[in-house]
Structure 1
Amino acid sequence: MSYDAVLLSGFGGPEGQEDVLPFLRNVTRGRGIPDERLEEVAHHYRAFGGVSPINEQNRDLKRALQAALTQAGLDIPVYWGNRNWAPYLDEALEQAAKDGIRTMIAIPTSAYSSYSSCRQYREDWADALEASGLQTTLQIDKVRQFFSHPGFIQPFIDGVQSGVAAAMQAGHDRSAIEVLFSTHSIPIDDAARSGAGLFTDVEGGGYAAQQLAVAAHVVAEAAPGISWQLVYQSRSGPPSQPWLEPDINDALEALEERTAVLIVPLGFVSDHMEVMWDLDTEARETAARLGLWFTRTPTPGTQPDFIDALVDLVQERISGRPTGQRANTTAIGPWFDVCRPGCCENPRLGFKPAIAGLQP
């Protein structure tokens, strides 16, 4: 397949105090949540001047990706559009159409299978095409979920190696170190529908299975035999709705015979608000209260291995690279180009058209 452009898609975030509430209204639109409740979350952003780092991080990612594509001999531009804040997806598509773009390969800034990390992006693209009136003139395909790509995983391997070494240099025995791989919690019902129904025997479905596979590979490469677990953060649903557990703070409270903890933000590609607040602020405070030595390893961000991985994901689609020749380093993967019908659907929100990966 030949492509005219890359579409980088992000969550979006406020860039000033006056943006915070309008942004949160966008995130929660259709749920009828009053501003008083939104303010409970707004203080996370207000503590950083109302500015989420995610937009600047995506600007940096767009620049790095554009430079790497050019260096790889791919003369295609990168467009960037967000789900919840400017620049919005429909604006990016309208500009692309004006520039003569007809086929785009989309890269969401999330590596795993779930509603919010895959399906919702596919619904967003379908909505943006409809809002722009471009359904018949602009085609959007999607790269596969890239959780198993070595370029995505390598920054985590490097981080765990450095973190374990730092803990031991600080006087902590290897047996006293715990590695907590942290990812965003999601409703248990949503998790069960993730991963094309291939992991019904795993609590947390494909979403958890994919991250467990990545974590196991990271430990095997970076610190064989080290104690580790997958934990969750950033729960936002009502108390009556079961979400994936354990929460990272509960996991810290439950640690026994440990003096040092490494937090690995396995579910995130950059140091955005949920990393800075939930991990760097709240989890760090919990660890300090418990007397635990603490470090948080880096996200992939714009590290060269990760940027090269994104270029490789585009190249494998352009060349039609066979599955057996695709980069993959975990027991699960490489993942599908075309998402299966109903995969990661959210019945609470009702059926919505979603781009599958090859056809709108």
Structure 2
Amino acid sequence: MVNEIKTTRVVRIGNRVIGGGNPVLIQSMTNTKTEDVKATVAQIKELERVGCDIIRCAVPNMEAALAFKEIKEAINIPLVADIHFDYRLAIAAMENGADKIRINPGNIGSEEKLRALIDVAKEYQVPIRVGVNSGSLEKEVLEKYGKVTSEALVESALNNAKLIEDMDYHNLVISIKSSNVMECIKAHELIATKTDIPLHVGITESGSLISGNIKSGVGLGIILYQGIGDTIRVSLTGNPVEEIKSAKMILKALGLRKGGAEIVSCPTCGRTDIDLIGLEEKVNKLLEEYMELDIKVAVMGCVVNGPGEAREADLGICGGKNAGLIIKKGEIVKRLPESELLMGLKEELDILKAKEGK
């Protein structure tokens, strides 16, 4: 457990602020070709809709860097350029509206190239995220530790950040990511005691929707619970919209973010007389239309424990034999056939939405 966590410095990224005790923000990354402006903007808009706070786009070529100007004009959240190797792409991205750039200073090349990049960052006041992961450690660091370790990740990140700070630029964010959950946790616990630079937290290459969510939930949960982390990404192999949904659930479960509907549902058992699995899936889909509401919705399969377990929820469905109950703040408000339960829930959600003016 960390003995002392330093308060991180405040960094402005476009129209958002991180560090210094500000709320933890959710990031994701587009998987479109960045130079395809129409497709990239469409994906960012969808990510905005579900709650993405900051979006990163790959910049593998100059066409992608130049596309930033048009993309930036069409979206509402900060736009980050993901740069590897070519410092000229970072410069072009900043000149075309990038709100932050992500680099590994070690693969930019010479000190002269890094300084040229930093000079432009200073001019536009664009923060730099120093990104280090288990697959990008410098040869000398690997030789020192013999393999990838938490200590190696931290040393690499701090060394690379120092390269930039020695050039009198302190507008920085650090990320140290590993696909090894425990290694990642230990690295964050260590670096949190050594720097006040804001930290972007994630379990890299965490996997598919199931394995990635489990690894990210465990890793991010432990890290964030200790007060470490200023922005997060749940890295999943799939639609980036799922990354945002998962990140919101993690933050909500830890009490770090309000808003968004939360489902609590019981496991199936022999007492279940309705299609509980199908109903839960439909409720989950329905709640995407009410993401602005800060509510808990219970989906329960039988009348034995259902009404009691749904009492703590704002709304609940409790199944029976070919029928069920709509429960509101612990009180039964409707008895409906199974086929009408979803519509009954929607009616109650609409009432809440209208009441809150949303």
Q: TM-score range by the shorter chain?
A: under 0.3
TM-score, normalised by the number of residues in structure 2: 0.25
